[in-house]
Structure 1
C-alpha cells in the first residue's frame, strides 16, 4: 500500500510540473505573438508614411483645411516625411494678415489626418508639410489627432 501511495504522489507531482511548463510556454508564446503584433503594426504605420507622395500631399491639403481650397498646391518631396509646397493662389477662405507660422493639417487619400503644414511666408503661398510622427514632433498636431478620419475640410 505504501508503494501505491508513493507512486500516486510521484505521478501527481510529475503532472503538476508538466502543467507548469505548459503554462509557462503558453505565456511565453502569447508574449511573443503580442510583441510581433506590435512590431507589425509599427511597421505598417511607418510604411504608410513612406507611401505619401507629393501628389497625395497636394490633394490632402485642400481635403483637410478650407484655407487650401482653390489654391492649387504644388509640392516637392524633401524626405520621406517632409514636403515643400507652393500655392498658385493665396488662401482666401480665412482672412489672416500673416500666414507665417500658421499650422494646418493635411489628409491622406482615405481622408485620415496624415500630417500637417506650417506657413513659411506672410502671404501664405509657401508651406512646409510634415507627414506622420514628424508633424507631431513639429507641434503641428497632437499624437491623438494623427490618423483620425475627417469628414471634409475643417475651418478655423
Structure 2
C-alpha cells in the first residue's frame, strides 16, 4: 500500500508540474515576443513528454500488478524460503542463491510470460531494478501476445 501512496504523490507532483509549465508556456506563447513564443513552444513539449512518461509508468504498474495477481491466483508466484530484513526486503544473499533457477527457466521457456514475471521478481529481490523492470515488461508483452491468439 505504501508503494501506491508513493506513486500517487509523485503522480500528483508531476501533474502540478505539468499544469505550472503549461501555464508558463501559454503566457510565453501569447506574449508576441519571438523569443518568448519560441520558449513557449519548447515548454509545451516538456509537459507532453512528462504526460506520456507518467502514463506509461502508471500503465506498467497496473499491468504488472494484474499479472502478479493472476500468478498469485494460480499459485505460481515464487515461494522459496528466504530470509527477510525487518523492513520486509529479501536478504540479497538468499535472493542471489535462488536467482539462477529463475534465469534458467526463462532461458528454457522464452515465450512463457510466467517465467519472465518470476524472473522479474527474482531480479527485484536481488536488487537489480533495471533488469527486473525489463523482465516484467517482457512478461507483459508476452501475456498480451498470448491473449491475442
What TM bracket, shorter-length normalisation? 0.3 to 0.5
**Bigger radius of gyration, 1 or 2?**
1
- Higher RCO (Cα < 8 Å, 6 or more apart): 1
Q: Flag the structure with higher strand content.
A: 1
Q: TM-score, normalised by structure 2?
A: 0.39
Q: TM-score, normalised by structure 1?
A: 0.38
The structure with the greater share of residues assigned to helix is 2
